A = this chain, B = another copy of it.
């Protein structure tokens, strides 16, 4: 642990007043100096969206009196929050960025769609150690108490050890009581995907429209995956990278007839 209190940037994708980020702030206040820069409204499913054709607002806000942290609400996406925080609010690189605690899972392929993880990845791109936390409970009344112990242990480990360049952590927490949680398990991302089902309806003007729905299908039976860990009562920790190059396929691709 650094001698000086670490500067911790907290953000999320459910919006600055969501219970999940309030729980995360509580834990972080035990570990460092906290600054919150979070969206002013829910941003779930925003992936790694950024705001390039519109203005961004970012204003100080008091969510509750007498809290130790400074807080700012931003009109942009989670990735925008990290960018504006490091450039305009903090004026120096934070020692850590944590995002969440998301209301709902970001395990497996959901890392791609996740606003929570896009904030962590954005921080990682900027060279800041970063962790995204998600609880497997979509409810606004989700109980975050059992998560706090594990959030603290994982964060302490990152503050202690750092993270290699190009890697951030994706942490998912099962919806269980603290004593039911079996521990923390390092995992790989399970191979799984959503099978979409569109709910087609007709609006009052007679025009068809759709709601995106679907079910999550994992056929990956590996016991080293995040899905397995969560289904078996563990907190899952997946190291996530943003070099997307499929290095294993480069050699094959070089044998193709591109320049004949």
User: Which A residues contact B (CB, under 8 angstroms)?
Assistant: 42, 44-53, 55-59, 79-80, 83-84, 86-88, 109, 111-113, 118, 121, 125-126, 153-154, 157, 160-161, 164, 166-167, 170, 183-184, 186, 188-189, 191, 193, 196-198, 200, 203, 207-212, 237-247, 249-250, 252-254, 256-259
Identify A197's interface contact among B58, B87, B118, CB under 8 A: B87
Q: Interface centre among A47, A57, A118, A242, by most B CB within 10 Å?
A: A47
How far, in whole Å, are A191 and B242 apart by their CA atoms in the complex? 10
A118, B207: Cα distance in complex, Å: 28
Interface of A, secondary structure class, is mixed
Q: Which of B46, B88, B238, B246 contacts A210 (CB 8 A)?
A: B88
Q: Which of B118, B200, B240 contacts A88 (CB 8 A)?
A: B200
* Pairwise interchain contact A209-B56, C-beta atoms closer than 8 A: yes
Query: How many Å from the CB of A46 to the closest CB on chain B?
Result: 5
Which of the listed residues A49, A87, A184 has the most CB atoms from chain B within 10 Å of its own CB? A49
**Given A167-B249, A183-B258, 13 further pairs, Cβ under 8 A:** A44-B53, A45-B50, A45-B53, A58-B210, A112-B121, A112-B125, A125-B193, A126-B193, A157-B258, A184-B259, A239-B253, A241-B249, A242-B244
Docked-complex contact B44 and A47, CB < 8 angstroms: no
The 6 residue pairs across chains A and B that have the minimum distance between CB atoms: A47-B48, A47-B47, A184-B258, A241-B246, A239-B246, A239-B249
Nearest Cβ on chain B to A85's Cβ, whole angstroms: 10
Give the residues in chain B near A184, CB-CB below 8 Å: 258-259
Complex: chain B residue closest to A115, CB-CB: B49
Decide yes or no: A237 and B212 within 8 Å by CB, A184-B259, A196-B83, A259-B184 being known contacts.
no
Tell me whether A198 and B48 are in contact in the complex, defined as CB-CB below 8 angstroms, given that A56-B212, A166-B246, A245-B189 are known contacts.
no
Option from B52, B112, B244 in Cβ contact (under 8 Å) with A45: B52
Task: Provide 11 A-B residue pairs closer than 8 Å at the C-beta atoms, listed in order of the A residue.
Answer: A45-B52, A47-B118, A50-B113, A56-B198, A56-B212, A79-B113, A80-B212, A87-B197, A88-B198, A189-B243, A240-B244
Minimum Cβ distance to chain B for residue A236 (Å): 11
Instruction: Establish whether residues A46 and B47, one from each chain, have CB atoms under 8 Å apart when the complex forms.
Output: yes
CB neighbours (8 Å) of A109 from chain B are 125, 242
Set B83, B210, B242: member contacting A112, Cβ < 8 A = B242
